[in-house]
Amino acid sequence: MRTSITRKLRQSLIFAATACGTLFTGCQDTVDQSDMYTFTGQTITSFLNDNADEYSDFAYILTRVQLSPRSSSTVADLLSARGNYTCFAPNNDAVRSYLDSIYQTHDYDITLIPDSMAEYIARNSIIDNKNDDAYMSTDFQIGALERTNMDDRYITISFDTLQGGVTATYVNNFSRITHFDLKLTNGVLHSVNHVIELSTATLPALLAQTENTRIFSYLLQATSWADSMQLYRDDDYEYNHVEYGYDQNGTQVANPQHRYFGYTAFVETDEVFHDKWGIDLPNVVNGIVTNMDDILDQIATRCAEVYTNGSTDLRSQENAVNQFVSYHLLPERIAWDKLVIHYAEMGYAYRNPTQLTIDCFEYYETMGCQRRLIKLTEGSQTGGKRINRYVTKRNLKDYTYSDADVAIPGILINESNGDNNFNALNGFYYTIDDILLYTDDVPNKVLNERIRFDMSSLLPELMTNGYRRLMSYAAIHIPKGYFKNFDFEEGCSYNYLTGYGSGWPNFQGDEHNVTGQYDMTFRLPPVPFEGTYEIRWSVPTYDNRGMAQLYLGKNKNNLSPIGLPLDLRLSPYNPAIGCDTDTEDEDHNDENDKAMRNHGYMRPPIHDGISTGGVVVNTLRNPNGIGSMYAYQRLRKIIWTGTIKPTDVLYLRIKSVLENTATQFVMDWMEYAPKNVYAGVDAEDKW
C-alpha cells in the first residue's frame, strides 16, 4: 500500500537540503528568543510537557541534549521555537522498554541516561522541515522521507496490515505510529510505540548482520568490496569548506554543510541464490556458517560461465566472482523513491506520484574497473522497479509508449527486506528476485539503444547528499571540489536548481546553472559496447544564455576542441538551427527534422513535457499553449560522432568564450546514440 504525497508547494530558497548535522551544525547554537512563541498555542515541547503521563521521559530526554558543545540551548528549546518540525515521539512505555533492554535492568532511572543515548534518541526522532510543511501522514509513502533527521540520517516508512484489516504505518521497520497528525504551532507530532532506531553500521556491516543475506555479505568480504564501502563523511570538507556562494541571480546562498559518501547495493537473498542457482543454503551452527567454502565454490563455477576469469585472486577486479559482485554496487546512496525519477513524463502528475504512466529509465555506472551500466525501469506496466528490462517493440504512434513486446521482463527490486533493516549509515541495500548478471544480453540488447542521462544521475555526490529531485524549489551552490567527476575553475559559479513546481521545460525539472568565467571538465559515462556513437547535448536556448567552446578526449589535461562554439543564445528558429513549428503534416515535420540534423541539431524528445503539477499533456517538442515557453526549447546538439569503447574514459571540457560573466550555461541532460539507432534500418523514434 502506498499513500500519495499531497505536499503544499513553496518556491523558497533553502540553504541546504540536509538538516542539522552530527553536532547540529546547521542550527543556531542558541535559540533566538524572538523565535519563542508568546501567543496561546502549543508547541511540540509544551505539548509533551502538558501530556507528561504519556511523554514525560521523551520530554526529559530533549532537555538533556544541547544543540552543540558551544550551546546552552537544548533540543527542547528548539522545539519551543518557530519552525516546521516533524517529531516521532516515543511514549513512556516505548522509552522505558527500550532503555531496560539496552541496560538489562527493570525500571531504568531516566535521569541516569548517558548523554550519548539521549542524543541518539532525540536526533533520530526529529526532522527539521525548514521552509516546507512538516510531514503529515498523507505525505507518507514506502521508502525514505526526503528530509533527513537531526543526525542527517534518512527515516524510512513502511506499511503492514494488522488483524481486522487495519493498515499500520511503521517508521524504520519497528516503530509503529499509534497516533497520527497532531498539528502544533511549530510542526506535527506522531506518537510511536518504539524508540526510533537507526543502524550505525556501514552497508557491508549491516548486510553481515542480516540473517537472509549471509552469502552476499560473504562475497563482499571475500572480494574486498566491503573494504571499499567504508567511507561515510569527508571530514576535510566538513571543517574547511567555504560556507557561501552566489546563485545565478547574484543572491548569496549557502554551500552544502556536508559531503557524505554513500553506496547502494542490489542483493540476492540466500533463498534467491538457492532457488535460482541451486546454491546450498548456509548451514549455521552457533552463529557460524560451516559450509561457506562449498557455497563459494558453487558460486565461482556459476560466475565463470558468464565472466572472463582474469585472475584467481578474489580481490582482483578481473576475477569472475569479483565482477559479479561489483555489478551489484553503485557509488551513491539512493533512496527508494529516487531510484527512478518521475516528474514530467507524458500523462504524469507529480502531485499524484503513485499514479505512474509511461516507462521512465535511469542508467547508472556500477562499481568496478569494467565501467558497466545498469538500467532501471519503472512505469505503470512494469509491475515495480526493474533492472535491465528489455522491450523489443513499443506503441509509438498512439502516444502511449506502451510495451508491445517484452523480451526480458527485468529483475524486480523489492521495496524492503521483510522486517530487516536496509538503511545503513552510508547507504541502502535492496533485495532482488533473481540473479543479477552482466550477460551478453545486457550490452547487446538491453543497452543497445539511445541512452539518455539526466545530468544529476551522473553526479554521485548530488544523490548521496540528498539534493537530487528535491520536492521543493531550491538553489544549491556547489563549491569547487565537491564533485569527483566534474571539475571547474574558481571563476565558475555552479548552482544546482531543483526547479520543483517552476514549470521549467527541463527533462526532470531540475537543471545545472553555471555563470561566471566558467571552465569545466566533466567525466563522461561509459558506453555499453564498442561502436560509433553520436554524443548529444541538451541545448536550453534563451537570450540570457552563454556560449562555450567544447573539448573532448581521453587526456583530461590535453583535450581537443570539437566543432564551433556552442551558442545557447540562438533561437530555435535561427537559420543556423532551422527549427520549424510542427504541423499536422508528419512528412513536413520529418523533413524539418532532417534539415535540423544537417545543422547538427535535433528537436526535444516527446517522452517528457512541461509540468506544473497537473497531468503533463504538452511535450517538450511541441509545447502547444505554453506561449513563451516555446522559446525555452531543450534542443539536442550533436556535439561529436566517433568510435567509443566501453573502457574509454572520455572527458568533456566546457569553456566560456564570452566576457559577460552573467550569462548562464545551463546543463540538463545528454544522450549516447549508437549508429544502429540514428542510421539504422528503422528511423529513430521521437521519444
Three-state SS for 300-321 is HHHHHCCCCCCCCCCCCCCCHH
Range of the domain at 217: 202-447
pLDDT confidence of 612, banded at 50, 70, 90?
confident
**Any domain includes 546:** yes
* Spatial distance between the Cα atoms of 413 and 565, rounded to a whole number of angstroms: 43
pLDDT digits (tens, 9 = 90+) for 50-66: 999 999 999 999 999 99
How many independent structural domains does the chain possess?
A: 3
Average pLDDT score over residue span 223-248: 96
Answer for the pair 353, 338: CB distance below 8 angstroms, yes or no: no
Query: 36-46 burial string, b = 16+ CB within 10 Å, else e?
Result: eeeeeebbbbb
In a domain, 535, yes or no: yes
Distances (CA, A) of 385 to 360, 382, 410: 10, 7, 9
Is 429 contained in some domain? yes
Cα separation, 447 vs 673, in Å, equals 11
Average pLDDT of the chain is: 91
- d(CA 674, CA 531) in angstroms, rounded, equals 7
**What is the Cα–Cα distance from 364 to 237, expressed in whole angstroms?**
26
Pick from 249-253, 336-340, 512-516: least confident: 249-253
What mean pLDDT do residues 282-296 have? 96
Same domain, 244 and 142: no
Question: 246 and 114, same structural domain?
Answer: no
Q: What pLDDT does residue 624 have?
A: 57
636 within a domain of the structure (yes/no): yes
Cell of 508: 526532470
Regarding whether 126 and 251 lie in a shared domain, the answer is: no
pLDDT for the residue numbered 397? 75
Q: Pick the last residue of a domain from 169, 192, 215.
A: 192
Comparing CA positions, the residue from 45, 269, 3 lying closest to residue 138 is: 3
- pLDDT for 18 equals 32
Q: Do 238 and 126 belong together in one domain?
A: no
Are the beta carbons of 65 and 74 closer than 8 angstroms? yes
pLDDT tops 60 at residue 13: no
Answer with the one of 166, 192, 218 that is the final residue of a domain. Answer: 192
Q: How far is CA 34 from CA 38, 249, 309, in A?
A: 9, 30, 67
Same domain, 324 and 369: yes
How many other CB atoms sit within 10 Å of the CB of residue 547?
Answer: 17
| Residue 448, CB-side half-sphere exposure with 13 Å CA sphere | 14
Average pLDDT estimate for 534-540: 96
- Cα distance between the two ends of the chain: 31
* Residue 12 predicted with pLDDT over 50: no
According to DSSP, the residues that pair with 515 across neighbouring strands are 493
**pLDDT tens, 632-683?**
678 999 999 999 999 999 999 999 999 999 999 999 999 999 999 999 999 9
**Residue 582 pLDDT:** 84
- Residue 458's region, left for phi above 0, alpha for psi from -120 to 50, else beta, is alpha
Residue indicated by cell numbers 543572491: 251
Confidence band of 613 (pLDDT split at 50, 70, 90) = confident
**Given pLDDT bands bounded at 50, 70 and 90, which one contains residue 10?**
very low
Neighbouring-strand partners of residue 638 = 536
Q: 3-class SS at 270?
A: helix
Q: How confident is the model at residue 206, as a pLDDT?
A: 98
Task: Output the pLDDT for position 630.
Answer: 55
466, part of any domain: no
Q: Give the residue with greater pLDDT, 16 vs 313.
A: 313
User: 151 with 215, same domain?
Assistant: no
Q: Are residues 172 and 211 in the same domain?
A: no
Q: Are residues 546 and 645 located together in one domain of the fold?
A: yes
Tens-place pLDDT, residues 103-140:
999 999 999 999 999 999 999 999 999 999 999 999 99
Distance of alpha carbon 451 from alpha carbon 646, whole angstroms: 14
Residue 462 lies in a domain: no
- CATH number of the domain bearing residue 258: 2.30.180.10
Going from the C-alpha of 629 to that of each of 11, 439, 472, 633, the distances in angstroms are: 19, 44, 21, 7
Q: Mind giving me the DSSP string for 126-139?
A: EEE-TTSPPPPGGG
Q: Do the domain assignments include residue 464?
A: no
- Are residues 487 and 545 part of one domain? yes
pLDDT tens-digit series, residues 305-345: 999 999 999 999 999 999 999 999 999 999 999 999 999 99
Average pLDDT over residues 412-436: 97
Closest of 43, 41, 42, 76 to residue 58, by C-alpha: 76
Cell numbers linked to 410: 527485468
| pLDDT tens per residue across span 560-569 | 999 999 999 9
Report residue 265's pLDDT band, with 50, 70 and 90 as the boundaries: very high
* DSSP H/E element including 277: helix 270-277
Q: Is residue 453 domain-resident?
A: no
Which pLDDT belongs to residue 6? 26
Show which of 398, 428, 447 is a domain's final residue. 447
Instruction: Supply the pLDDT for residue 32.
Output: 46
Q: Are 490 and 410 contained in the same domain? A: no
- Comparing 16-25, 107-116, 536-545, the range with the smallest average pLDDT is 16-25
pLDDT tier, 161 (very low <50, low <70, confident <90, very high otherwise): very high
Q: Residue 640: phi, psi to the nearest 5?
A: -165, 145
pLDDT of residue 414: 98
Do 229 and 101 have their domain in common?
A: no
Confidence of residue 399 (pLDDT cuts 50, 70, 90): low
Whether 276 and 361 map to the same domain: the answer is yes
Q: How far from 348 is each of 351, 392, 406, 523, 608, CA to CA, in Å?
A: 9, 24, 22, 32, 9
DSSP secondary structure, 12-26, as one string: ---S-SS-S-TT-TT
